[in-house]
Amino acid sequence: MKNIPLLIGAFLFSIFFYQQDIGLNLSLFSLLTIIILAIYNKDLFKKKSTIIFSIVFIITAITIFFFRSILTIVAYVVAFLTLIGNVSKQGSSVYVNWLNGLYTSIAAFFHRNFNTTEKDEKVTPKQKTDYLHLIKIIGIPLITVIIFIALYKNGNPMFSELISKIDFGFINIQWLLFSVLGYYLLSNISKPVIVDPATTYDLNNGNSLSRERDFIVEKIKKENQLGFILIALLNVLIVIFLITDITYLISTNDLRASAISNQVHNGINTLIASILIAIIIILYFFRGDLNFYKGNKNLKTVTYVWIVLNLLLIINIVIKDCQYIYYFGFTYKRIGVLIYLLLTIIGLLTTLIKVKQIKNFWYLFRVNTLTAFTILIISSTINWDNYITHYNLNYAQSMDFNYLLDLSDNNTFLLKNYADKNNLTAERKSLIEKKYKAYLIELESKKWQEIQYDNFKLNKD
């Protein structure tokens, strides 16, 4: 009896996804997932974090319904794994949630062979399934209903017509195998499991560093001196770099796309190397006892200065990227640079907090993965293709028209609207018309499982 929700879920899984594209079905599947999780883990759905991750999961599903893109699909998968991981173990970090979520989704069925503890076995001895009763409660009503349907069919032509409309033609062996796959997935997630060493380690390790009982002061003093000299020198170097870079930025009049592109990309490469080395060096020196050494004030000061200078370096790149966007419009790469810079700023600030409040490496990892997850979810709720097209058509000083055409269909209605209201060249108009018509055909051929928000726009028109 306890498997009935899973059987119904597997049936619905096949109806939603068998030989279907992505659309409304992902929203329905997310509801199904949450219902299955809530049925088998009632208590956990009273916890705030589980409710929040469920809402996030539904939001990502809705975004796919509104504008499908690779980013929204990735966000959906990550949100799914996070929710499952959260249900498997409350209070664990986001990256452990991902690990537990992935493991649960693919292999919980096999893991459960070794999941029962001796205590569980003693308290709840496994009851034997009464298969005869199961056959009776399914078989007898089913046979009786079929007999009565046959009787009523002969007695009422309208009822007969209704029955004949029910088409089970979609059920075949492949469909059944697909249902088995659905059952396997839902059975896996119904009772989430954990990756034991990783989860226990994560739960047992807090965010703060603890002081060792007796550390050798002489050794720490030498390390402090080395750290101070190294980071002070790097400060001098980064100051010189910033001065020359800002001077170049102010004095140059070269606004060719290739020139700005080179500057931004070189800047990003420098930044990636610089930030990574900065964080590694900081993590190395502040890995343990040096945090508790009384004479570390100067080292801490030069470290803060270095972090602030790296932030200035980032601002410098942001200015270049914004300049690039102002003149040549948005592209995914240029937006990606901005998001990377945002992540870097957060990474540097958390490193600063780590040094100031004597946190450990796991603190950095936890906070930054959570930040990356949040940014992924927020960025997936934005229809980038539409915004890129809108900005480039209306505000950019110059733009690549073919780039807009090559974007996904999320900007098709906007392009069509723009073409109708503006005087474009015949070639551009025909290209937009071609894209629009192809999209209309695609939308019209969608089955109910695949429909998306644009289908409703179609009906309005």
Partner 1 sequence: MNISSVIFKSTVLATCIFWIVIMSQGFQNYMIPLVFLSMIPISICCAITIFLTIVPFFWVRRGELVDEFDGRNRIIFKKYFPFYAIVSFSLCLYGIVESIFAISFFVSAFFTTMQSWVWLAKDNEKQNN
Question: Given the rule CB under 8 A, which residues bind partner 1?
Answer: 99, 102-103, 106-107, 110-111, 113-114, 172-174, 176-177, 195-198
User: Would you give the end-to-end CA distance of the chain in angstroms?
Assistant: 49
Rounded Cα–Cα distance for residues 351 and 313 (Å): 16
Minimum CB–partner distance for residue 111 and partner 1 (Å)? 7
Minimum CB–partner distance for residue 380 and partner 1 (Å)? 22
Three-class SS state of 1: coil
Minimum CB–partner distance for residue 28 and partner 1 (Å)? 24
- φ/ψ of 96, rounded to 5, equals -75, -35
**107 vs 149, beta carbon nearer partner 1:** 107
**194 vs 388, beta carbon nearer partner 1:** 194
**155 vs 197, beta carbon nearer partner 1:** 197
Minimum CB–partner distance for residue 189 and partner 1 (Å)? 15
**173 vs 426, beta carbon nearer partner 1:** 173
**172 vs 374, beta carbon nearer partner 1:** 172
Can you spell out the DSSP letters for 249-316?
A: HHH-----HHHHHHHHHHHHHHHHHHHHHHHHHHHHHTSSGGGG-GGGHHHHHHHHHHHHHHHHHHHH
The single residue listed with the structure tokens 């809530």 is 38
Instruction: Provide CB contacts within 8 A for 187, sequence distance 6+.
Output: 6, 108, 109
User: Do residues 125 and 205 make contact, with C-beta atoms less than 8 angstroms apart?
Assistant: no
- In the numeric block, which tokens belong to residue 64? 């796919």
Minimum CB–partner distance for residue 332 and partner 1 (Å)? 23
**38 vs 102, beta carbon nearer partner 1:** 102
Element (H, E) at 38: helix 24-40
Calculate ∠ Cα 34-40-44, nearest 5°: 75
**107 vs 246, beta carbon nearer partner 1:** 107
Three-class SS state of 424: coil
Minimum CB–partner distance for residue 323 and partner 1 (Å)? 40
Query: Which residues lie across from 208 on neighbouring strands?
Result: 359
Minimum CB–partner distance for residue 184 and partner 1 (Å)? 9
